[in-house]
Structure 1
Amino acid sequence: MIGWSRRGLAAAAATVAGGLLAAPAIVRAQGNWPNRPVRFVVAYAPGGGTDLTARAMAESLTGRFGQSFVVENRAGANGIVGSEAVARSAPDGYTFVAVTSTHVMNRQIVPNLPFDPTNDFTPIALLARYPLVLMANVDAPFKDVPSLIAYAKTRPPGELAQATSDAQSSYAANQFAKTAGIDLTEVPYRGSGAYLGDLTGGHLKLAWGSTATAMPLLPGGKVKVIAVTSPQRSAFLPDSPTLVECGLPDSLFIGWTGLFGPAKVPQDIAATLNRACSELSATPAMQAR
C-alpha cells in the first residue's frame, strides 16, 4: 500500500487541475498553427478512460482545425514513460501528453522522478473530471458495498484482489480497503485497458477505473458497478451509490484528465488549443462520449 498524505494529495491535484482550467494569459499572433499533424501521447495503455477521452478529443480537434491530431500510447511506470518523453520533446506545439491526476501525485510517491510535474510542462486543458468507479465482474458473489465487505471478511486475508492502473486508482483502492476494514490485494496494471479482459473474463473480481472506462462495459452486462467515489451520484451512473452513501466518507476522490505540453510551448498555441478543447468539451457530442 502506498503511504499517502490525503491532504497533500488533494491539494496538489486540485492545484494542477485549477491551472488546467485557466487559459494562458498572454496571447500573441497565432500564425498558421497547426500546419502538420499534432501528436497526443497517452501515458497509459490503449482502451482505458484516458485513452478514450484523448481519442475523442483528437478526433474533434481534427475536424475543427482540418489537420490530423494523432494519438500514440506510451504506457509504463505509472504514466512516467509517456510524460518524460513529452517533457523532453521540442516545445513547438506539436507534441502533448494526456495524463490523469496521477501526473502530479507521482511527485509524492516516486523517488527521483525524472521531471517536475509542474515546471517541466505547460498546462493546456482540463479534458475531464470524474469520480473513480469500483467495478466488479458480473458474476462476482456480491452486488454492493455491504455484501462486498461481508464477502471479503469471509475470505483469507488478501485473497480478494482489486485491479488498479495508476496512482489515483491505487489511492482510491487502498483508501477503500482501509476505511472498509478489509484486506484486499492490489494488482497494478499498465492501464485500465490492460485489465479489462481479466475483469470481464472472471480472472479478477474487482477493479477501479474512471467513468469513461466503466460506461462502455455496462450495456453488454460485462461488469457491475459497486460504487463511485464522488460526494454525489454521477450523472452518468445515477443508479450507482457513492461510497459516502455506503458509510465510507473517507473514500472520497475526484480524478481528472488533463492535456500538457513540454515547458515553454508558445503562448499563442497553448491559448488556441486551450480554447478549442474547452469549447469542444462543452458540446453535446463530447459530453455523450
Structure 2
Amino acid sequence: MPSPSRRSLLAAATAVLPVAHAAAQTAAWPRRPVRLLVPYAPGGGTDVFARTLAEGLRPILGQPVLVENRAGANGLVGSEVVARGEADGHLFLVDTGSHVMNAYVMPNMPFQPLRDFAPVALLSRFPMLLAVGAAQPWRNVTELLAAARAAPRSIGFGTSDAAISYAGNLFTRLAGVEMVEVAYRGAAPMLNDLIAGHLPTSWNSTVAALPHLQGGRIRALGVTTAARTSLLPEVPTLAEAGVPGYEFAGWYGMVAPAALPPAIAVAMHAAIAEALRDAGIRERLSRIGADLGALGPAEFATFLREDDARWAQAARDGLIVRAQ
C-alpha cells in the first residue's frame, strides 16, 4: 500500500485531471530511482540546492533521488540529455534562468527551452552578488570602478552560466567600464580561482557564495536585487553602491522532457512542496539564500513565457549578444 506521502501526491494529481486517467499515470510512479540532472559542475549553487532538495524528496517519493552533474556549453550538454530523455517521471532537470536565456545567447541550440521541456516547479528566486577575493584591494564598488577606469580591460570577472554572464555584463555597461569576462563550467571552479587569487572578481548566486563569505575567503561588494538581502544586510545593492538602475535576480527551476504526463508534474510539485515544509530542509536552504516560494507547473509555465519575452526584448535592445 502507498505511504501517506505517496497517497497525498496522487490526491494532488487527481485534483486537476480526470480521476481514472490521473490514477493510471501516477499509481506506479516512481517505479525506480529518480534522477535530478544538474547541467553544471558539482559544488555550485544549483548543485547545492538540488542535493539538499533530493535529500528531502527521498522519503516522500519512496525511491532513491540521485543528483547527476553533466556540465558543458553553458548548461546545454546536460539540458539536451533531459530534452531527449524518457518522459516517464524518472528524469528531471534542475537549472537556472539560463535555461530560457540560452535561446538568445547560444547559436544552433539542439532544443527549444519552452517547446522541449515540461514545466514542473519554480524552486527558488535569489539575489546574485559581485564578489572579490579576500586578498584583492577593493573594499567597495567605488574602488573597483576607479581601478577599472584607470586600467581598462585589466580586471577579469568570472561567470558560470548565461544569466550570471548577463549580470556581469549589465554591470559593466551601466557602470561604463571595460572588464574581461572569464567563463567557467560551474560556480565551484570559479570560486576556487577567486579564493586562490587567480581571478579578481566574480558573479555568484548567494547559494554558492555564502559559505565562502561566512568563512572570510571572499568579500561581497554588492547584491543584484533592488533591495538588500536579509542574509547579508550589511552588503549594499549595486544601485546603492554606485551603479544606478542596476536590478537583476536569479532563479532555480525544475523541468522534465516535454511529454511528461501532467499528473506526474503535479505530483512532483506536490512532493517538492512537502519537502520544503520540512523544517530541517527549509532551514538549510534558507540559510544559503534560497527563497522557497515554489510555483507549480501551470504557474511556472506562465513564469517561463514571461522570462522568454524578457530575454527576447533584451536581445532586441542589444543587452545580450549571441555567442559566435
TM-score range, shorter chain: 0.7 to 0.9
Aligned-pair CA distance for 1:141: 0.6
- For the pair 1:272 / 2:270, whether they are aligned, the reply is no
Question: Is 1:73 the counterpart of 2:69 in the alignment?
Answer: yes
Report the count of equivalent residues: 266
Q: Deviations over 1:80-113 (max 9, x none)?
A: 0000010000101000111100010011122221
Which protein has the larger Cα radius of gyration, Structure 1 or Structure 2? 2
Quote the Cα distance in structure 2 between the aligned partners of 1:101 and 1:130: 11
1:116 counterpart residue number: 112
2:50 is the counterpart of 1:54? yes
TM-score using structure 2 length: 0.79
Question: Which residue number corresponds to residue 212 of structure 1?
Answer: 207
> Which residue among 148, 154, 159 is the counterpart of 2:154?
159
Alignment check: 8 A CA contact 2:35 2:91 kept = yes
Tell me the residue number matched to 2:189: 194
* Aligned mates of 1:286, 1:215 — CA distance in 2: 17
Distance 2:191 2:268 in 1: 32
Amino acid at match of 1:180: A
Distance 1:271 1:279, change over 3 A: same
Q: Deviations over 1:25-77 (max 9, x none)?
A: 54712303112100011011111000000111011101222311000000111
- Indicate if the aligned counterparts of 1:172 and 1:251 stay in contact, CA closer than 8 A: no
Using the TM superposition, give the Cα deviation of residue 282 of structure 1 relative to its aligned residue in structure 2, in angstroms: 4.6
How does the TM-score come out when normalised to structure 1?
0.88
**Richer in helix (by share):** 2
Aligned residue identity for 2:231: F
CA contact (8 A) 2:61 2:271 kept: no
Question: Distance in 2 between the 1:102 and 1:232 partners?
Answer: 22
Distance 2:142 2:187 in 1: 25
In structure 2, how many angstroms separate the alpha carbons of the residues matched to 1:281 and 1:102?
A: 23
| Segment of structure 1 superposing worse, 72-81 or 59-68 | 59-68
Cα deviation, residue 183, structure 1: 1.1
Alpha carbons 1:87, 1:261 under 8 Å: kept: yes
Residue type of the alignment partner of 2:267: T
Partner of 2:171: 176
Alignment of 1:224-235 (within 5 A): 224-235=219-230
Task: Provide the alpha-carbon RMSD of the alignment.
Answer: 1.6
Q: How far is the alpha carbon of 1:271 from its aligned partner?
A: 0.6
Tell me which of 31, 38, 41 is aligned to 1:45.
Answer: 41
Percent identity, aligned pairs only, is 45
| Counterpart code for 2:59 | G
SS of 1:275 mapped into structure 2: helix
More deviation, 278-287/98-107? 278-287
Q: Is the 8 A contact 1:218 1:224 kept in 2?
A: yes
Stretch moving more, 216-225 or 278-287: 278-287
Counterpart selection for 1:35 from 31, 34, 43: 31
Alignment-derived partner of residue 5 in structure 1: none
